[in-house]
Chains A and B, each alone.
Chain A
């Protein structure tokens, strides 16, 4: 958009017309930022989650072409996808690993928002919808691995059904209503939930959950996609054995995001308490947290109690998740003996862990604050190290990366010809990563091309005048067209301050709730700011 289009053909005019039309839609109410340089991905984990959701939607839709949600065909159809359909292996692996990545990134996103304190002060709705989205994401992933109908899937279905059954009063009726009357119904209905009901609900909630400022960092999105493919190549997901009701199954554990819950279930204590009430309590606590957090400040260091609660919850999640995975390797013992976790031992550890992790965190925060105060007395060391590339080296790197991509393309093609599906997927992942690197180089080069004017005047004596970088015409100009018409949504956020603030300050304002004390100095950084947040504090978290 920054480029002036000297000659307009009808195609350009069509694009302009479409662009002007889109301006009137809700889509433009959200401000997309394409960062002009590297930004910490922690700030836009939510966007990454959404991108993963899109990847899952695309691969999932393609998998639907071959999957058959029928009792005696489900497993065979997945095997067919995996073994005989061209690129079915790649589709399934991307779908599987992206689902895990989505749960993981959503969790990280939640904890980052939690520790950075952005969930409160007008952001409560975002937080609450986010928690519901997170729970539904896990349900989505859960229903996904159930419809393979392998041994493990059957175990998962039976546990889900027995938990529903265990709900007082309405349990069996609810099971009947939502799950149906047998395996045939279960598979078909889980499929319906997985491919339609839950995604639709997720999308609807996402509309509410989206903040108005979004960062779309192409290199990071590419890198994540590449990482998923590489993981798929290195750890291809298996099929498991098909479920046969008269064959004793091996020991299976659920996916990692449910092993925590599984650990509770394995104590053989009352199903409703362990399987429904405990997780419900955890989710409920997360839902009310922004209303309980009464600290005026945002940084995790200034909210020791809330931070300590967060760390405690993390410790509990890690311990239960591991415990759910752990099965006594001694095969001489009876199966049940290996599976059942002693409830007294288990709950004792859980209870002891709470004051330990809580106290430890609290102490660490105090220490951190102390050392921070000390550090302020010390003279500052030069800012974070940065790599500076000259234009020549940029070109050279570009050529090398392109050559590497050509080589990788050939290698991936040969790999698929020779039936090395893993290897092909792995290489494709690297291609995505290389593309991410190239894109980053490109924007780095563009930034170099735009930046120079104020730079090459370093007379050692005088301090560089702070006024010099102010004009910085290029970067904000690139954003101008987006900011043009004040949309209906724009009026909602900043109420009284909004009109006199520049767009960048609105972003900051939305991000942290502080008023615009920073002044116009913030302006040159607009392209990178937005969701990344103004204070450096949370980055350490």
Chain B
């Protein structure tokens, strides 16, 4: 490129200036890369654990929550009632049936899965009846295993991973038996992405 032949490995004045110009341009615009954080919605980033509040206003407690039953959990809960209707904030809070370990009095007896069906985003729910004991989506009949959140029948089960396993929330029990939702990591390799899925092997 340079008109003058390179002398003793030295960079020509022109090339040096070009390099400086390029470096200057990169430096000028480098801070703006981080500005990309403007785009995602930060309301999903919750830094601390919160109590698992049920629709009736009480906090889920291992001593009072019925075995083999479910409730709707709004998480993260907002002060805006319109936002609390958001499908992407609705979670199915399940206490497992006895045969799956639901009678244990600790957090392991509970599961919290996103209610947004992985197929086309209807809201599925848990059916505790004998012979069912599974999550079922009203729209196209996807069925979910309450133990793992994996779709085992219906269109959602045909989707490749991670879109066949429901996102979940992790729980913790305090000394009163109250349940707390731990801060999630919205990534397919951790708690999963609502409406997208989660890798089961993690």
Query: For the complex, is B188 an interface residue (Cβ under 8 Å from A)?
Result: yes
A18 within 8 A of B: no
Residue of B nearest to A336 (CB): B155
18 contacts between A and B (CB under 8 A): A71-B83, A158-B121, A159-B120, A165-B193, A172-B193, A173-B40, A176-B39, A176-B40, A176-B186, A176-B193, A182-B41, A182-B194, A183-B88, A245-B87, A245-B90, A246-B122, A249-B122, A268-B158
Which single residue of chain A is at the shortest CB-CB distance from B44? A181
Contact indicator per residue, chain A 247-259, by CB within 8 Å of chain B (1) or not (0): 1110000000000
How many angstroms from the CA of A68 to the CA of B139 in the assembled complex?
Answer: 27
Contact B187 A172 (CB under 8 A): yes
Name the residue of chain B whose CB is nearest to the CB of A180: B41
With A165-B193, A184-B86 known as contacts, the answer to whether A178 contacts B123 (CB < 8 A) is no
Contact with A along B153-173 (1 / 0, CB 8 A): 011001110010000000000
In the bound complex, do residue B82 and residue A184 qualify as a contact, i.e. CB atoms below 8 Å apart? yes
A161 CB-CB contact with B under 8 Å? yes
State the A residues within 8 Å of B (CB).
70-72, 154-155, 158-159, 161-162, 165, 172-173, 175-178, 180-185, 245-249, 268, 270-271, 334-336
Whole-angstrom distance from the CB of A258 to the nearest CB of chain B?
A: 15
Cβ–Cβ < 8 Å partners of A178 in chain B: 39
Do the beta carbons of B36 and A177 come within 8 Å of each other?
A: yes
Nearest A residue to B119, CB-CB: A158
Contacts of A246 in B (CB 8 A): 122-123, 125, 138
> In the assembled complex, how far is the CB of residue B76 from the closest CB belonging to chain A, in whole angstroms?
10
Contact residues in B for A184 (Cβ distance below 8 Å): 82-83, 86
Residue of A nearest to B138 (CB): A248
A183 touches B87 (CB 8 A): yes
Kindly state the separation between the CA atoms of A271 and B140 in the bound complex, as whole angstroms: 18
Given contacts A158-B195, A177-B36, A177-B39, contact A248 B139 (CB under 8 A): yes
Assess whether B141 is in contact with A245, with CB atoms less than 8 Å apart: no
The 3 closest A-B pairs by CB, nearest first: A182-B88, A181-B41, A177-B39
Taking CB as reference atom, which chain B residue is nearest A247?
B138
**Chain B contact residues (Cβ within 8 angstroms of A): what range?**
35 or more
Chain B residue nearest to A164 in the complex (CB): B196
Chain A hits for B139, CB < 8 A: 248-249
B43 an interface residue at 8 Å Cβ cutoff? yes
> When the two chains form the complex, which single residue of A176, A180, A182 contacts B87, counting CB atoms closer than 8 Å?
A182
Asked whether, in the complex, the Cβ of A155 is within 8 Å of the Cβ of B123, the reply is no
Residue among B39, B90, B155 having the largest count of chain A Cβ atoms under 10 Å: B39
Within B168-189, the residues touching A (CB, 8 Å) are: 186-188
> In the complex, are the beta carbons of A71 and B140 less than 8 A apart?
no
Closest to B38 in A: A177
A155–B122 CA distance with the chains assembled, in angstroms: 10
With a CB–CB cut-off of 8 A, which chain A residues contact B86?
71, 182-184
Contact digits for B6-47, partner A, Cβ 8 Å, 1 yes 0 no: 000000000000000000000000000000100111011000
Identify which of A70, A175, A185 contacts B196 (C-beta below 8 A). Answer: A175
Report the bound CA distance from A177 to B38 in whole Å: 8
List, in ascending order, chain B residues with CB within 8 A of A336's CB: 140-141, 154-155
A246 nearest CB neighbor, chain B only: B123
B153: min CB distance to chain A, Å: 10
Is B89 close to A, CB under 8 A? yes
Contact: A161 with B141, CB < 8 Å?
no
A334, B139: Cα distance in complex, Å: 12
In the complex, the answer to whether B138 meets A177 with C-beta atoms within 8 Å is no
Chain B residues positioned under 8 Å from A335 (CB to CB): 140-141
B85 on the A face (CB < 8 A): yes
Chain B residues whose CB sits within 8 angstroms of the CB of A271 once the complex forms: 159
Set of chain A residues within 8 Å of B155, measured between Cβ atoms: 268, 336
In Å, the complex CA distance between A390 and B41 comes to 70
Question: Taking CB as reference atom, which chain B residue is nearest A176?
Answer: B40
Question: Closest chain B residue to A178 by CB distance?
Answer: B39
Whether B88 lies near A155 (C-beta < 8 A) is no
> Shortest CB–CB separation between residue A210 and chain B, in angstroms?
31
Contact A154 B188 (CB under 8 A): no
Determine the distance from Cα of A178 to Cα of B82 in the docked complex, in whole angstroms: 22
Which of chain A's residues have a CB closer than 8 A to the CB of B120?
Answer: 154-155, 158-159
Specify which chain A residues have a CB less than 8 angstroms from the CB of B40 in the assembled complex.
173, 176-177, 180-181
Contact call B41/A172, Cβ cutoff below 8 A = no
Distance between Cα atoms of A334 and B163 in the complex (Å): 22
Contacting residues, chain B, for A159 (C-beta < 8 A): 120
Known contacts A246-B123, A248-B139, A70 near B160 by CB under 8 Å:
no
- Shortest CB distance A224–B (Å): 36
Are A154 and B196 in contact (CB-based, < 8 A)?
A: no
CA distance A165 to B88 in the complex (A): 15
Closest to B186 in A: A176
Q: A70-B82, A161-B196 are in contact. List 17 more A-B contacts (CB 8 A).
A: A71-B83, A71-B85, A158-B195, A165-B195, A165-B196, A173-B40, A181-B194, A182-B86, A184-B82, A245-B90, A245-B116, A246-B125, A247-B138, A268-B155, A268-B158, A335-B141, A336-B154
Whether the Cβ atoms of A185 and B85 lie closer than 8 Å is: no
Q: How far is the CA of A70 from the CA of B116 in the complex (A)?
A: 19
Task: Select one of A155, A182, A249, A270 contacting B160, CB under 8 A.
Answer: A270
Q: A181 to B155: give the CA distance in the assembly, Å.
A: 23
Q: How far is the CA of A335 from the CA of B186 in the complex (A)?
A: 32
- The interface bits of chain B over 91-125 (1 if a CB of A lies within 8 angstroms of the residue's CB, else 0) are 00000000000000000000000001000111101
Name the one of B44, B154, B163 contacting A162, with C-beta atoms under 8 angstroms.
Answer: B163
How far does the alpha carbon of A155 sit from the alpha carbon of B138 in the complex, in Å? 15
Q: List B residues 44-89 near A (Cβ within 8 Å).
A: 44, 82-83, 85-89
A334 to B120, CA, bound (A): 17
Q: In the bound complex, what is the Cα–Cα distance between A173 and B141 (angstroms)? A: 29
Compute how far the CA of A173 lies from the CA of B189 in the bound complex, rounded to whole angstroms.
13
Given the contacts A162-B163, A177-B36, A154 and B121 also touching, CB distance less than 8 Å: yes
* Min distance, Cβ A165 to any Cβ of chain B, angstroms: 5
